Structure 1
Amino acid sequence: MNIDVRFERYIEEHKLFTREDKLLVAVSGGRDSMLLLTLLSRYGVEIAVAHCNFELRAAESDKDEQLVREYCKQLDVKLYVQHFDTEAYAESHKISIQMAARDLRYAWFEKLRAEYGYQYSAIAQHKNDHVETVLFNLSRGTGLLGLQGILPKREGIIRPLLFLNSAEVLQAVEELKVPYRDDQSNFSNKYARNKIRLDIIPEFERLNPDFIQVMDDNIERFKETQRVLQVFVEQERKRLFVAMGEEEWQIQKTAIAGLDIGLLYFLFEPFGFSKPVLTDLVAAFSAESGRVFRSDSHELLLDRTVLRLRKIEGGSESVALGAEDRVLRWQKYVFSVSYPEDFTVVKNPAIALLDYDKLVFPLTVRAWEEGDVFQPLGMNGKKKISDFFIQRKVSLFDKKKIPIWLNGNGEVLWITNYQIDDRYKITENTQKVLKLDCNI
Structure 2
Amino acid sequence: MLHMNVLERFKAYVYQNNLFQIDDRVLLAVSGGKDSMLMAKLFIDASIDIIIAHCNFSLRGEESDKDEALVATFAEQYAIPFFSKQFDTIGYAELHKISIQMAARDLRYDWFEKLRSEHACRCIAIAQHKNDHIETVLLNIVRGTGLAGLQGIQAKRGAIIRPLLFLDAKEITRLIVELDVPYRDDQSNFSTKYARNKIRLDVVPRLEEINPEFVKGLCQSVVHFSDAYTLLRQFVDPIREALFKNRVVKNEIVIRKEELQPHLKNIPLLYALFEPYHFQMNVLMDLVNSWSNENGRIFDSTTHRILVDRSALILRPIQSIQEEQNDITWIAEGDTEICWNDMRFQALYSETPTISFNRNVACIDREKIIFPLQIRSWQEGDVFYPIGMRGKKKISDYFIQQKINLFDKARVPILIDGSGEVIWIANYRLDNRFKITDNTKKVLTLVCE
Provide the TM-score with structure 2 as the length reference. 0.72
Give the Å deviation of 1:189: 10
| Superimposed CA distance per residue, residues 256-275 of structure 1 (whole angstroms, 9 cap, x where no aligned partner) | 23433333333333334333
- Would the aligned equivalents of 1:29 and 1:68 in 2 still touch at CA under 8 Å? no
1:247 matched residue in structure 2: 251
Give the Å deviation of 1:107: 7.3
Give the one of 11, 14, 39 matched to 1:11: 14
Secondary structure of the corresponding residue to residue 222 of structure 2? helix
1:199 matched residue in structure 2: 206
| Superimposed CA distance per residue, residues 155-202 of structure 1 (whole angstroms, 9 cap, x where no aligned partner) | 55544343345676688789xx53368999999897531334433223
- Would the aligned equivalents of 1:125 and 1:162 in 2 still touch at CA under 8 Å? yes
- Distance in 2, matches of 1:415 and 1:67, equals 58
| Superimposed CA distance per residue, residues 365-399 of structure 1 (whole angstroms, 9 cap, x where no aligned partner) | 33222223333333342222322222222222223
1:430 matched residue in structure 2: 439
- Distance in 2, matches of 1:261 and 1:232, equals 15
Provide the TM-score with structure 1 as the length reference. 0.74
Pairing of 1:222-241 with structure 2 (within 5 A): 222-241=225-244
- Distance in 2, matches of 1:420 and 1:13, equals 65
1:368 matched residue in structure 2: 378
Say whether 1:152 aligns with 2:158.
Answer: no
Structure 1's unaligned 5+ residue stretches are none
Give the Å deviation of 1:292: 2.5
- Would the aligned equivalents of 1:113 and 1:120 in 2 still touch at CA under 8 Å? no
- Provide closer, same or farther for how the CA distance between residues 385 and 329 of structure 1 changes in structure 2, counting only shifts above 3 A: same
Secondary structure of the corresponding residue to residue 12 of structure 2? helix
Say whether 1:406 aligns with 2:420.
Answer: no
Give the Å deviation of 1:286: 0.8
Give the Å deviation of 1:14: 0.9
- Would the aligned equivalents of 2:137 and 2:151 in 1 still touch at CA under 8 Å? yes
Say whether 1:439 aligns with 2:448.
Answer: yes
Q: How many residues align?
A: 424
- Would the aligned equivalents of 1:67 and 1:180 in 2 still touch at CA under 8 Å? no
Give the Å deviation of 1:13: 0.8
1:290 matched residue in structure 2: 296
2:347 matched residue in structure 1: 336
Say whether 1:281 aligns with 2:287.
Answer: yes
1:179 matched residue in structure 2: 180
- Distance in 1, matches of 2:363 and 2:71, equals 80
- Would the aligned equivalents of 2:353 and 2:440 in 1 still touch at CA under 8 Å? no
Give the one of 20, 23, 26 matched to 1:20: 23
- Provide closer, same or farther for how the CA distance between residues 34 and 147 of structure 1 changes in structure 2, counting only shifts above 3 A: same
| Superimposed CA distance per residue, residues 227-281 of structure 1 (whole angstroms, 9 cap, x where no aligned partner) | 3333444333322122221111221112223433333333333334333332222
1:312 matched residue in structure 2: 321
- Distance in 2, matches of 1:47 and 1:128, equals 25
Say whether 1:256 aligns with 2:260.
Answer: yes
Secondary structure of the corresponding residue to residue 201 of structure 1? helix
- Would the aligned equivalents of 2:236 and 2:273 in 1 still touch at CA under 8 Å? yes
Say whether 1:347 aligns with 2:357.
Answer: yes
Secondary structure of the corresponding residue to residue 357 of structure 2? coil
- Distance in 2, matches of 1:72 and 1:231, equals 49
Give the Å deviation of 1:434: 2.1
- Would the aligned equivalents of 2:70 and 2:183 in 1 still touch at CA under 8 Å? no
Report which of the two structures shows the higher radius of gyration computed on alpha carbons.
Answer: 1
Say whether 1:415 aligns with 2:396.
Answer: no
Amino acid at match of 1:218: S
| Superimposed CA distance per residue, residues 137-156 of structure 1 (whole angstroms, 9 cap, x where no aligned partner) | 43554422332233323455
Secondary structure of the corresponding residue to residue 242 of structure 1? strand
Pairing of 1:29-178 with structure 2 (within 5 A): 36=39, 39-47=42-50, 76=78, 78=80, 110=112, 120=123, 122=125, 125-127=128-130, 129-139=132-142, 141-155=144-158, 157-164=160-167, 178=179
- Distance in 1, matches of 2:307 and 2:418, equals 33
Give the Å deviation of 1:10: 1.8
Amino acid at match of 1:414: W
- Larger deviation, residues 33-42 vs 253-262: 33-42
Give the Å deviation of 1:116: 6.7
- Would the aligned equivalents of 2:150 and 2:225 in 1 still touch at CA under 8 Å? yes
- Distance in 2, matches of 1:399 and 1:104, equals 31
What is the percentage of aligned positions where both structures have the same residue? 36
Secondary structure of the corresponding residue to residue 312 of structure 1? helix
1:327 matched residue in structure 2: 337
Give the Å deviation of 1:287: 1.0
- Would the aligned equivalents of 2:296 and 2:405 in 1 still touch at CA under 8 Å? yes
- Distance in 1, matches of 2:59 and 2:331, equals 58
Cα RMSD, aligned residues only: 4.9
- Distance in 2, matches of 1:105 and 1:323, equals 40
